[in-house]
Structure 1
Amino acid sequence: MSTLQNKNTQIEFIAGNNEFSLIYQQRLILRHTAQAPCLWMGKGEADIDMFRGNFSIKDRLDEKVALTDVKITAQPAGWDLHFSRGDTLSASLVLTTDDSGRLQLKVQNDNRAHNRIWLRMAAQPQDHIYGCGEQFSYFDLRGKPFPLWTSEQGVGRNKQTFVTWQADCKENAGGDYYWTFFPQPTFVSTQKFYCHVENSGYMNFDFSAADYHELAFWEDNATLRFECADSYISLLEKLTALLGRQPELPDWVYDGVTLGIQGGTEVCQHKLDVMREGGVKVNGIWAQDWSGIRMTSFGKRVMWNWKWNRDLYPQLDERIAQWKHEGVQFLSYINPYVASDRDLCAEASEQGYLTKDASGADYHVEFGEFYAGVVDLTHPEAYEWFKNVIKKNLIELGCGGWMADFGEYLPTDTFLHNGVSAEIMHNAWPALWAKCNYEALQETGKLGEVLFFMRAGYTGSQKYSTMMWAGDQNVDWSLDDGLASVIPAALSLAMSGHGLHHSDIGGYTTLFDMKRSKELLLRWCDFSAFTPMMRTHEGNRPGDNWQFDGDAETIAHFARMTSVFTHLKPYIRQAVKHNSQSGLPVMRPLFLHYEDDARTYTLKYQYLFGRDLLVAPVHEEGRSEWSLYLPQDTWINAWTGETHYGGDITVAAPLGKPPVFYRADSEWTALFGELRYL
């Protein structure tokens, strides 16, 4: 055995006869022996079928072979490792550091026909793993595989539930625990390192084995980067320095709730008046049907022709100016597809701006009783054209923001202008869509004033998406797809480098006899007051759901919780600023600040809101008390003033007073103490 060391990068490489260990800053990253090889290769053909954003993915795998033999060559900047198995199967792994001193591994199959790679990273049985984008069912990912593919999140997302079975029977839409709008090939280990993969093809990160993590790539190459730190806070700072950070939010976001309203100008005005007369602090109206509506069996759908519909919203331009003067923004809606029976699609088609099918004709996707063309964002002229649609039709109209929806529907059998396979571009598509929206703001000088929020994402969304939302939860209490699921989603995204997250108050998906109850809406409202943004949604079937103006008690509840939210404005704004400066997320797992507390690594339904508020949302029906865990510190109940010093506790949790505690030695104690009197 021989040991080679690079003191500047703290890389230690221990090599022997057909074996090696790679140690980076005292963390064992790779271990290879002929009996336990770290690299495998193979050949497969992807079988990917999409229906309305739901994907059936199979691999017709011809072979998976362990590369048992390795030849090691030292280079001035690192090491070249040549793996083989016999005379026909071989791959290379180049070990070096990038310009910022990160450990970098580049794997390449020597024969491009071998288009599958499996890399086994060393692990310890006690490791916890977090990240992989937005994960709704699990926060600690240890013990399961996580396929990484942006798609609809699924209805139910748990194969053991009746709702998921119903959705699967109808259109393969039930989903599973790993289905997500925002996957990302990034994970953080409790050994205090992160691993980020630069690829965008289909991947599967399997954390089920005790002594290794197996990363599978459906490509013939992969590039991985690693960094270590002494604390999780420092690690996130390093990760977000690599991936990018979100800008600060517009100041108006902290001034109340954004009301999701549909139905026209006067409907918006009436509901706004009712809520403000009831004492609700309103910062905006979000009217997703500003471009018109289309009725389907799923419910009321937006007309995908991104122009102001003057019939449904007469005098909207004048009303937007009036509302803005009153401190109320108008927010709209857009996505990167254009309805095939409308004029924007015809214009895009005439210019050659849509993706193509195998025959060279425009590719149209079925979206549920209507079709739409896919704007080819890889085509520079199409990209600029659609960016100008945003500038002219949304920004010039006076919109203070919009939902930049979808991004996960790119079919794998369409053909793109840049010549890259749609299978490889599929995961990258949401970040490209985010970039288009971001640049529209940047080029019009509206960054920091106008907000767009997205559900789909991937590596790069950190740079460009100004706010994420959790997508389409069921209007129910289910752990995998209801109110509870939003909490691990926010925390997983935080550990993937995106620190701004919120959700539809009350959920969205209303199918299979679901009906949003008054209690669910109020509990979700309680939770949302302790997130960076409050926003409601009527749901896809508004008539089946309890709404924010359902009765006087509901309006009064929104008045109370928007008062709580706006009271916390200076505190939330500071947390958002920290996120933009250092990547420290607004909603945080407890272990970021309590590393020595083993219990905090297992908590997925409570979080720190900024540094000094601990929130444990009530996510079960009919509860008046709630049990939670407090790490060792001096905590004060925000509603009673009672002091706690840590451990498991049970507290009263009536509607309007969710379990919230603040640290006694916080600089914000005076602000927090006033919550009791709101």
Structure 2
Amino acid sequence: MTDTSPPRPAGLALRAEADGFDLTLDGRLVLRHRADDPCLFAGRGEERMEMYRGNFDIEDYVVERSPLRHAAIEAGRIAFSSRPGEPARLRLHIEGNALRFEAPDASINRLWLRVWAEADEHVWGGGEQMSYFDMRGRRFPLWTSEPGVGRDKTSEITFRADVAGRAGGDYHNTNYPQPTFLSSRRYALHVETSAYCAFDFRASDFHEIEVWAIPERLEFFAAPDFLELVEALSNRFGRQPPLPDWVMEGAIVGLKDGEASFARLETMREAGVRVSGLWCEDWVGLRHTSFGARLFWDWRADEGRYPNLRARIAALREEGIRFLGYVNPYLCNDGTQFPEAEAAGYLATDGMGRTALVDFGEFDCGVVDFTNPEAAAWFAETVIGRNMLDYGLSGWMADFGEYLPIDVHLANGVDAKLLHNRWPVLWAEVNARAVSSRSLSGDALFFMRAGYTGVQSHCPLLWGGDQSVDFSRHDGLVTVICAALSSGLLGNAYHHSDIGGYTSLFGNVRTAELVMRWAEMAAFTPVMRTHEGNRPRQNLQIDQDPQVLAHFARMTRIYARLAPYLRDLSQEAVQRGLPVQRPLFLHFPDDARTYAIQDSYLYGPDLLVAPVWRAGETQRRLYLPQEADWVHLWTGDVHAGGREVTVESPLGAPPVFFRKDTQYQNLFLSVIKI
């Protein structure tokens, strides 16, 4: 029987040394300080931040960065100063498994801490990272933003996106950062702060943490194995409810074609597609911009575009299909709800006390101020509760949590720069509050791309954001695997993505191969959901190609057939906080060859999935972990672990293996007959 008792708290021990100290965590050295090799630096900086439609240009002018060489150890605390005899500038208080910061020097607004590291150490986490799962060797700013197009400064598409609208990304850009990392030394570190910060893993003997404020504390977690460590982090950040049973019946089909969406859905069902939900972003109506068709941000049903929608939703539900919509925390100033929110004082203001208006690309919106309890309650009850849940919606995309402008004024008086990272959590809390008010936790399902520390407690499902409609290394299909693995280690049990990608710019459009390969991967994730993308008419849709449609239908049947397994994984997530998609090392901690693998994953403990993520490939080379024999799902061939194998991977037969001794063998083998 699996031991589900919570891991004991990590123990910090301080040992004075000549000219410094060592701080250990259950015997692991984490901080080493000497006068000639200090672990702590403090100073001041003057940042420059510019936001343009969710993208940020950020740089810092460092006025002071001073090593705090002298450490005076007192009972349970360490006082740091530049040299002996000078007043303490910073103090660290040891409190259980945490270090609490105190800053007697009020001038300090920058801090750099060096955590001891081993040369061959691996580190993971950082929220939802899309380019690099093993973060060692790189620097990662942690600031919620649009990830940007292409995410590769050497690519043409990123260059063109930068030139056209400052919208090109980089490897570290993410909707969901979190200042938490796990180490292959089997401990984890979390920085409790909402300020801009960065993790720098480029040095061989230390990891440097940079924070643009005095953090509240550093929290440490330790465990003998990675499973317990992930469970401890889930205990800290919050558990999600189980996936709704209705989701596991098939795919959530995304269509934004007004009244025609219902007929297209029926065509898909007649082709054998298993459907659990119809997701219509455009339930609120459309406006047309140069980026493409955009939604009308007023968060009421547009019964001109969807006549008699409430009755259609009820009829679909009778057939076992739920209806999902879309919402975000902004109100367009030409909508019906903006005047009500403005009159009640629910919107953030500018420096003159006027309602702040944000340009979202050819239309302006007000920012609903969730630091105002009355505004948060109004949005949860009126906008989501009455307009959506009471109307019949069973789920929605809760979008744009990363967009809080840094120059608005908020009701609680906190600088928007310090609340920017926390904004997705406040947004998730509003959505969860609406769901809870209708006693629908575990049934209504909203999904978010933005996040930060604590979003796990409120958001029941992540999605990977707006990937490009291609196979590119930094913005294509493969990036959502990395996103699921990194976020899953921090207590986010459920992750999924837009099948076929979303962003289509500069002539970059979907291919049939891309859509089919993406669907193959999605069949082995917690949720299958399609999206028509930002330019639906320029891109291939699943119901436009008979081969693609037939392939997709089969993948939805495979997904539905695996529902008993997924249901068990969902219950394990509730009980232990373990993710459904898992890095290989989570179950094979002593196999160091698994530590940097980010293009294959364990689907629960018993399935290994290695999606084909390069265009034109019909074979896949992958590594099978040690201490297990692996059965190739489609051929039945048995492979010993601890080596690389190459398998044929034609369309319709993605590389999937199961453990030879699994109790789910009959279920897995039944997939072959579909």
Cα offset, 1:91, TM superposition: 2.5
Q: Distance in 1 between matches of 2:320 and 2:172?
A: 40
Residue 534 of structure 1: which of 525, 528, 538 is its match?
A: 528
1:208-607 equivalence runs, <5 A? 208-265=202-259, 267-388=260-381, 389-607=383-601
Structure 2: any 5+ residue segments left out of the alignment? Answer: 1-7
Q: Does 1:97 align with 2:98?
A: no
Residue 667 of structure 1: which of 659, 663, 668 is its match?
A: 663
Q: Distance in 2 between matches of 1:623 and 1:41?
A: 51
Moved more, 122-131 or 105-114: 105-114
Q: Is the 8 A contact 1:286 1:332 kept in 2?
A: yes
Query: Secondary structure in 2 aligned to 1:534?
Result: coil
2:49 maps to a residue whose letter is I
The residue number in structure 2 matching 1:613 is 607
Give per-residue Cα distances to partners, 1:9-55, cap 9 Å, x unaligned.
74332213431111110110111111110111111122110000000
Cα offset, 1:89, TM superposition: 7.2
2:633 maps to a residue whose letter is A
Q: Is the 8 A contact 1:135 1:488 kept in 2?
A: yes
Q: Distance in 1 between matches of 2:377 and 2:190?
A: 30
Cα distance, 1:38–1:300 mapped onto 2, change above 3 Å: same
Q: Is the 8 A contact 1:112 1:220 kept in 2?
A: no
Cα distance, 1:473–1:10 mapped onto 2, change above 3 Å: closer
Q: Is the 8 A contact 1:136 1:489 kept in 2?
A: yes
Query: Secondary structure in 2 aligned to 1:427?
Result: coil
Give per-residue Cα distances to partners, 1:477-499, cap 9 Å, x unaligned.
10100001111111000122212
Q: Is the 8 A contact 1:41 1:109 kept in 2?
A: no
Cα distance, 1:139–1:89 mapped onto 2, change above 3 Å: farther
Query: Secondary structure in 1 aligned to 2:377?
Result: helix
Give per-residue Cα distances to partners, 1:402-456, cap 9 Å, x unaligned.
0001110111111110111100100000011001101111111111111000000
Cα distance, 1:367–1:9 mapped onto 2, change above 3 Å: closer
Residue correspondences, number: 664
1:651 maps to a residue whose letter is V
The residue number in structure 2 matching 1:44 is 45
Q: Does 1:178 align with 2:176?
A: no
% identical equivalent positions: 48
Give per-residue Cα distances to partners, 1:56-80, cap 9 Å, x unaligned.
0111221111111111112xxx234
TM value normalised by structure 1: 0.96
Structure 1: any 5+ residue segments left out of the alignment? Answer: 1-6
Cα offset, 1:86, TM superposition: 7.4
Cα offset, 1:256, TM superposition: 0.6
Q: Is the 8 A contact 1:91 1:107 kept in 2?
A: no
2:347 maps to a residue whose letter is L
Q: Distance in 1 between matches of 2:324 and 2:9?
A: 51
1:95 maps to a residue whose letter is H
Q: Distance in 2 between matches of 1:358 and 1:87?
A: 44
Q: Is the 8 A contact 1:501 1:532 kept in 2?
A: yes
The residue number in structure 1 matching 2:77 is 79
1:123 maps to a residue whose letter is A
Q: Is the 8 A contact 1:468 1:502 kept in 2?
A: yes
Cα offset, 1:93, TM superposition: 2.9
Cα offset, 1:109, TM superposition: 2.8
The residue number in structure 2 matching 1:204 is 198
Give per-residue Cα distances to partners, 1:372-396, cap 9 Å, x unaligned.
1000000011001101110000000
Moved more, 378-387 or 59-68: 59-68
Q: Is the 8 A contact 1:134 1:489 kept in 2?
A: yes
Query: Secondary structure in 2 aligned to 1:343?
Result: coil
Q: Is the 8 A contact 2:570 2:580 kept in 1?
A: yes
Q: Distance in 1 between matches of 2:659 and 2:10?
A: 39
Q: Distance in 2 between matches of 1:511 and 1:671?
A: 42
Cα offset, 1:85, TM superposition: 4.2
Give per-residue Cα distances to partners, 1:95-143, cap 9 Å, x unaligned.
3234xxxx11122332222111111111111110000000000000001
Give per-residue Cα distances to partners, 1:188-219, cap 9 Å, x unaligned.
00110110111001001101111111101101
